[in-house]
A and B are shown apart, each in its own frame.
Chain A
Amino acid sequence: MNSSEIILLQNVDRPNSESIGVYRESGGYKALVKALKEMKPGEIVEEVKKSGVRGRGGAGFPAGLKWSFVPKESEKPKYLCCNADEGEPGTFKDRVLIERDPHQLIEGIIISCYAIGIHTAYIYIRGEFVKGARILEQAIAEAHENGFLGKNILGSGFDVDLYVHRGAGAYICGEETALMESLEGKRGNPRNKPPFPAVVGLYGGPTVINNVETLSNVPHIVTKGGDWYAGIGTEKSTGTKLFCISGHVQKPGVYELPLGVPLKELIYNVAGGLGEGHRLKAVIPGGSSTPILTAEEAEKVTLDYESLEALGTALGSGAVIVMDETTCIVRSTWRLSKFYEHESCGQCTPCREGTAWMEKILARIVRGEGRPEDIDLLADICDNIFGNTLCPMGDAATGPVLSTVRKFRNEYEYFIEHKRSIVGN
């Protein structure tokens, strides 16, 4: 890996990296100047399309394509929402971008607004990120003072207002339509689609919702061009990705690597490998909802959208959770199922009832009261939830359960038969 591939994290270790001065010293806001003075909005959209950058929030939808769904002319105001509701267990990359390089994000937002013809943008930030929200408020104020936000930005005649909105503590508000409901001051329930946000979104206006990491890439794509970006990574997974590696590794943290890097490289080299004398058991590759990988699969796979998809899982948010042989798969699955049970918004039947049912079964197994038929029952409940819910949360909740039932069935059988975990106690 060479240092030129560090794009998003290039400033984060500088002292006072959150200040506009430090950001500008390292070339910050030059992309905005270029965009406003030298480029037409459509050209920026084209560059972003060319870059191939895919949504970094987890779904991996091509960002440029998403932008192109927004109608050019609209009777209602158009909006941009930056999704900073980073809540997927194992994910902590946006937090670094927000706290350590807020201006990179803000610059990305302003350029994106210009590209799509938007004059009002919101950063919907996870409620717990108090520090991040304060830093963003400060950075927005600085950007205003420097003429990068507000009316007639840099004399271009283009206006953007940017607001920070703190969430109130619900995972589901990271789902784009729930986010908009919450932003509108309502209960954060996902909306039924269609209509899609690009057509009818926030306050009924066409709306683009992009993840923090996605938007933070935009200034770099504008500066160096879509082709440059597309040259990094693989053909279908372009650019770099922030990976948040946690669990049983020596150096957990956020690392920026080109897409397509072997998972092995991340675990053993970048994150320092597992603890002394421990061996890999399983990896959740892209946040807690992505189906688990066995050690064998993890040793072979590369970190890109297509390779993980081929294994029936996903790159997701880039949250890699590493588990060594001491991990009880049944217990860890129970813990994750508790999370989903707790976070289901409750409006749609399979998710509301199914997540709670699965949690109860897993809790019973962990209490030593499991029945052999519970394993197939869990799999069938997953099948009954999957694809049948209003938003992706239902599918997400089945990820850890169904994949562990399939790949670590022996651990369930052991727990049920012996009333204790296969890893002891």
Chain B
Amino acid sequence: MPNLKIDDIDVHVPDGTTILEAAKTAGIHIPHFCYHASLKIIATCRVCLVEVENTPKLQTACSTEVRDGMIVSTKNPRVQKARRAVLEFLLINHPLDCPVCDQAGECDLQDYVFDYGAAESRYVEEKRRYPRQDIGSKIVRDMNRCVHCTRCVRFCRDVIGIEEYGVFERGARTTVGTYIDKTLENNYQGSLVELCPVGALTSRDFRFKARVWRLNSAESVCPGCSRGCNVLIDFKDQTVYRFRARQNDDVNGRWLCDEGRMSYAFVNDSNRILDPLHKVDGQNKQVDLDDGLSSIGEILRKITDEHGPDSVGGIASSSCTNEENYLFAKFFREVLGSKNIDFIPAGRGEGSSDAFLIQADKSPNSRGAEEMGCRGEGLDVERMMSAARQGKLKALFVMGQDVIDRFPEKNLVKEALSALELLVVQDTNMNGTAALAHFVLPKASFAEMDGTFTNFEGRVQRIRPAFRHEDVLPGCMTISALVRKMGHDYGYSSASDVFDEIARKVQRYKGLSYDKIGNQGVKI
């Protein structure tokens, strides 16, 4: 373990640590563009030059490994001049279009120039202008803003192993782009945007939608597939603007696929269910949640009293949290006394997958749904549909699942659902199944609640609310209220309470808590 001094601070780091990473441990930030902890080190941007005592030339902090007794200066006048010089070189041809650039506010070039650069330019020549090149449907390239750090190229080549982005020309004409007449086709283009330290690569989805400094972030998990990539939900008010990858080396590293990155879209959709609805004479009428739940409770009680507990069924969801699914199953078993509980794994085996992040199961919590007891010993979904058609199943409660969408024989399912005396659908967005429901209850999306998902490897991970909609509750809180209407009280005041019970009752989750799960999850 070498001991060294960086800016007069004693630093003690393992062998093989670079000066840049060692400085980080001492709270010293050394600016860098080409360096990225997950990419091959190339030491080309030269903005991280520092002085190492007894070494004549300035050294790149990103590539120089520490030695015992090393004395490093990251701030002396010589280093400052070199740093200012590199920033000047990067700026001479830069369009300085920060006011219209999406990167402004999270631009390394902007930040470094502000911290270390000169206020005025000495450059009076004509600026370089690159021709436009359309590189595909997901991201926009503005080569004039590029600092030639080649993070994007190295990501494609070294991380996902797809050669479709490269360096062309040379010298000051060097350009970074796709091969002739080709567009980017890989599934991780959003990662290129995140890697780009400047506004050379921007997301078509996010472009011009918001200034980043007006956005807040919530730590969450991508609901797009069973990988459960860690994300930051960037939001403002009650709108999600984008996902950014959140580092978790056991799950997704620093990356996110494009499909997952777009999986927030439903949260903002105009078809969100924000009010409880009651269908009267074929017309949906807005009702008070309390009144709605009272009516649902009464009808359910009446049906079970008249036809027995097997006349009711529940369909949970692999998109719902463990807390939602757990309480759903508990409600059916303990309050209604029915074992007719099931869920449909979303898209298992149907979706595309790859060897990197993307899983075929396009839901975040199939494993959790299973483990929360949402596969009852009674009727499965298909048998519930036949029982409904035959008039044996009288009431169905569906949470977070468009049942019609999941079956090829849509008419048969519609017929079955229409035959029910009571269909309750709790979901985030209107869909075919909800359209047939007698009662539609709003449900918080992943972006609006606390909870946990269990990924395909059995890693339990937390989601956290970015914002809330008034009276739009997580499924578990709605069920909890319904249970109270039906004369029981579980005493939960939050998803965390439900999870604590899971941690007591479900063998594999024993001893877990939200604190233990933290922001990196726990593998069970």
Contacts and interface: CB of A to CB of B under 8 A. Distances in A.
Contacts of B93: 353
A353 B89 contact: yes
Contacts of B126: 360
Nearest to B65: A194
A170 B122 CA distance: 31
B89 A389 contact: no
B123 interface: yes
A352 B148 contact: yes
A354 B89 contact: yes
B92 interface: yes
Nearest to A190: B44
Interface stretch (A145-153, A220-228, A282-290, A338-346): A338-346
B85 A350 contact: yes
A361 B125 contact: yes
Interface string A324-359: 000000000000000001111111111011111100
B150 interface: yes
B85 A384 contact: yes
Contact of A364 (B42, B47, B90, B125): B125
A343 B172 CA distance: 10
A352 B173 CA distance: 8
Contacts of B122: 377
Contact of A348 (B45, B81, B124): B45
B174 interface: yes
B1 interface: no
Given A349-B86, A357-B123, A341 B58 contact: no
A192 B172 contact: no
B174 A347 contact: yes
B148 A349 contact: yes
B63 interface: yes
Contact of A187 (B57, B88, B147, B167): B167
Contacts of A388: 46, 49, 57-58, 82, 85-86
Contacts of A343: 170-171
A390 interface: yes
Contact of A384 (B42, B89, B128, B169): B89
B420 interface: no
B159 interface: no
A357 B122 CA distance: 11
Given A192-B41, A349-B86, A388-B46, A360 B171 contact: no
Interface in B79-132: 81-82, 85-86, 88-90, 92-93, 122-126, 128
B171 A342 contact: yes
Contact of A346 (B43, B81, B82, B169): B169
A101 to B, nearest CB: 34
A372 interface: no
A350 B167 contact: no
B92 to A, nearest CB: 6
Given A353-B93, A354-B89, A384-B89, A348 B44 contact: yes
Contacts of A387: 56-58
Interface in A343-397: 343-350, 352-357, 360-361, 364, 371, 377, 384, 387-390
B60 interface: yes
A357 B92 contact: yes
B170 A345 contact: yes
A405 to B, nearest CB: 16
Indicate the size class of the contact surface on chain B: 35 or more
Given A187-B167, A347-B42, A389-B46, A352 B150 contact: no
Given A349-B86, A350-B89, A360-B125, A390 B167 contact: no
B47 A349 contact: yes
Nearest to B42: A192
B171 A349 contact: no
Of the candidates B47, B58, B86, B90, the one having the most CB atoms from chain A within 10 angstroms of its own CB is B86
Nearest to B167: A187
A221 to B, nearest CB: 31
A7 B122 CA distance: 52
Interface in A173-210: 187, 192
A347 B86 contact: no
A170 B170 CA distance: 10
Contact of A350 (B42, B57, B86, B173): B86
Nearest to B166: A187
B125 A346 contact: no
B125 A357 contact: yes
Given A192-B60, A349-B148, A390-B44, A384 B88 contact: yes
Contacts of B174: 345-347, 352
Contact of B150 (A347, A355, A357, A364): A347
Given A341-B171, A345-B170, A390-B46, 6 more contacts: A172-B170, A348-B43, A356-B171, A384-B86, A388-B58, A390-B44
Closest 8 CB pairs of A and B: A346-B174, A384-B85, A356-B172, A353-B89, A344-B171, A360-B125, A192-B43, A348-B44
27 contacts: A172-B170, A187-B167, A192-B44, A341-B172, A345-B170, A346-B167, A346-B170, A346-B171, A346-B174, A348-B44, A348-B45, A349-B44, A349-B46, A349-B47, A352-B171, A353-B93, A355-B172, A356-B128, A360-B125, A364-B125, A371-B124, A377-B122, A384-B81, A384-B85, A384-B88, A390-B44, A390-B46
